[in-house]
Amino acid sequence: METPKTLLQAARYFANADTCEEFMREIKWHGNDPICPKCGSDRIGEIKTRRMLRCLDCRKQFSSKVGTIFEDSPLGLGKWFVAVWSVVNCKNGISSHELGRTIGVSQRTAWFMLHRIRVAMECESSNQFDGTSEMDTTYIGGKAANMHTKRREKLIQGRGAVGKTPVHGIMQHGKDGRASHVNAAVLGDNGSTSTIVHVK
């Protein structure tokens, strides 16, 4: 599925409600038939004028947002998808004030959206990875040019990792179109794990 590469493309792509509905169904059911959240039947009809689905067995009406972070939100999928795109693609993060201005909602609403999105991005469990995985360690720290003279001299005399924080990460590749999972941990001086960050 082709996805927008820039914020402008995302805003244009998700401006169409029908496109958003199609996108939502694709990521929820991965191209398979919709499933009734009440009885589990796959005999589903469609109410196109309302962008709703109806189970032909138990007669329940439901939307593709059921069971997602968008379910009880009065905001349209267009604003939600642009918000998700912004969180995922902004390398330095995005504030609720900035997001509010971007999608045209209040700062309080944007904060609520960011909270839901970040919770949804957490890994569902801390079970061991299986399948194809990769791991690596990197050292995080400021540039030597921005450091105090004495600290810079110490950095130059030692290894490149001197004065920096080691972070170890493991990534499990996603299967069947699912997202990959990354567990990153800040390592202590003795190699122990002090903080674990889950990314989905």
Q: What does the pLDDT look like over 74-86, one tens digit per residue?
A: 999 999 999 999 9
Question: Which residues, at least 6 apart from 143, have a Cβ–Cβ distance to it below 8 Å?
Answer: none
Give the length of the chain. 200
Q: Are residues 111 and 165 in the same domain?
A: no
- pTM for the structure as a whole: 0.62
Running DSSP on this structure, what letter comes out for residue 144? G
Q: Are residues 13 and 95 in the same domain?
A: yes
pLDDT 10s digits, 121-167: 775 544 566 677 788 888 776 665 666 666 665 555 545 555 677 88
Domains of the chain: total: 2
Per the CB < 8 A criterion, the answer to whether 15 and 26 are in contact is no
Query: In the prediction, which pLDDT does 142 show?
Result: 60
Residue 94's domain comprises 7-120
